[in-house]
Amino acid sequence: MTETVLVTGGAGYIGSHMTLSLLEAGIQVVVLDNLCNSTAESLRRIERICGKAPVFIQGDIRNNAILDNIFTEHRIDAVLHFAGLKAVGESVQKPLDYYSNNVAGSLNLYQAMARAGVFHLVFSSSATVYGEPEQMPISENAPIGTPTNPYGRSKLMVEELLKDLAHSDPRWSIALLRYFNPIGAHESGLIGEDPNGIPNNLLPYISQVSIGKLKELAVFGNDYSTRDGTGIRDYIHVVDLADGHLKALQAISTQSGIHVWNLGTGTGYSVLEMIKAFEHASGVPVPYRIAPRRPGDIAECWADPSKAARELGWQAKRGLEEMMLDTWRWQSGNPQGYME
Ligand code: NAD
Ligand code: UD1
């Protein structure tokens, strides 16, 4: 039985929703986060929501002394590894930072786990590893693509590393979870996505336009061969994503080896459909203009989530309207994010 887990990156967007879900499921949580892209306020909000708090250690996954100390002080059954950098554009400018945090940091963490005899791991991967997929929807058997940027390559490298690790030693039990596009926020409106600076991703951009923080959205291309010419993605509610991790955690507690699961809804929406759905949920107009395509973007990408349904008994429950309402509640209630 899983009693205590280590969540790296637990103060961040997905990690904070995960920490809340784990605490609500009666699992104790140790969070390790260096707060390079988050604040400890997210953890205080979690306590406000559920009345329980994780143990918080501010530190870096590349610090061996901190890792060894955590594994000595706490009886960790499994690790959920979210810590890392995730901005695609920045990864092109600062590849060393990305390989250091995402690849060297992950390697360091797995070495510390092995030293401590902890072999259960859930890793945050991304649909980005599929590159430009030939067929929709994308199943786990689809060929791995060639990521076009250091961020994508860092995820692919860690996936390969983990496959080698699992094949080398049957004690390892690893879930590789490939996320599609996580959006939304907890229904309380107390935790959500709080990007630093100008957001890169669609939903944070739309929501900052809606509260007047940004002037207008640039829609990156309307000449794709999609139903309205704009890019199509599989947006998944962050709380559904966290539920998927809980199921994966259960699964790896009883089976060893490495398992890959897509976490998506199986439905794709275009950029224009997302704008409309947000306007409908919030009652606020989102001004936009059509801009050139963003380099590196693909036309469409949505998941075949049937493997997770079959093997984990998991499927996303929250539809587009709920994703938009929850995003709006978080953004309108916290216009400055966690900075009150
Ligand atoms: P986030 O930036 O909100 O969270 C990452 C957290 O890790 C932050 O709190 C940051 O402070 C921390 N961190 C970064 N480097 C660290 C280090 N070296 N040591 C300790 N802590 C460190 O990002 P997120 O959206 O919550 O993403 C979580 C994970 O999921 C990442 O690995 C990301 O690549 C992956 N992922 C995210 C998405 C997405 O759209 N959000 C999609 C696919 C995969
Ligand atoms: C991006 C990353 C991908 C990562 C994923 C989830 C890139 C090239 N890819 O994917 O590696 O795994 O986030 O974090 O950044 N859009 C606009 N205007 C905007 C922002 C986005 O029109 O201001 C469009 C995009 O062209 C795309 C859709 O909205 O069609 C979604 O974009 P985004 O949220 O950035 O996610 P992805 O491009 O799918």
Burial class from Cβ neighbours inside 10 Å (0-12, 13-18, 19+) for residue 26 reads exposed
In a domain, residue 167? The reply is yes
Helices marked H in the chain: 13-24, 41-50, 64-73, 88-93, 95-98, 105-116, 150-168, 202-210, 238-254, 271-282, 306-312, 320-333
Among 100, 120, 132, 101, which residue's Cα sits nearest to residue 162?
120
What's the full length of the chain, in residues?
340
Cα dihedral 127/190/106/98 (nearest 10): 70
Q: Indicate the pTM of the whole model.
A: 0.98
The per-residue pLDDT string of the chain (340 residues; one tens digit each, 9 = 90 and over) reads 789 999 999 999 999 999 999 999 999 999 999 999 999 999 999 999 999 999 999 999 999 999 999 999 999 999 999 999 999 999 999 999 999 999 999 999 999 999 999 999 999 999 999 998 889 999 999 999 889 899 999 999 999 999 999 999 999 999 999 999 999 999 999 999 999 889 999 999 999 999 999 999 999 999 999 999 999 999 999 999 999 999 999 999 999 999 999 999 999 999 999 999 999 999 999 999 999 999 989 999 999 999 999 999 999 999 999 999 999 999 999 999 998 6
How many A from CA of 14 to the centre of ligand 1? 7
Ligand 2 proximity of 294 Cβ (cutoff 6 Å): yes
CATH code, 158: 3.40.50.720
Index of the ligand 2 atom closest to the CA of residue 294:
26
In a domain, residue 290? The reply is no
Q: Would you state the structure tokens that stand for residue 16, as one six-digit string? A: 């904070």
What's the rounded Cα separation, in Å, for the pair 78 and 76? 6
Q: Which amino acid is at 293?
A: R
Burial class from Cβ neighbours inside 10 Å (0-12, 13-18, 19+) for residue 175 reads buried
Domain range holding 178? 4-184+235-265
Ligand 2 proximity of 201 Cβ (cutoff 6 Å): yes
In a domain, residue 279? The reply is no
- Count of structural domains within the chain: 1
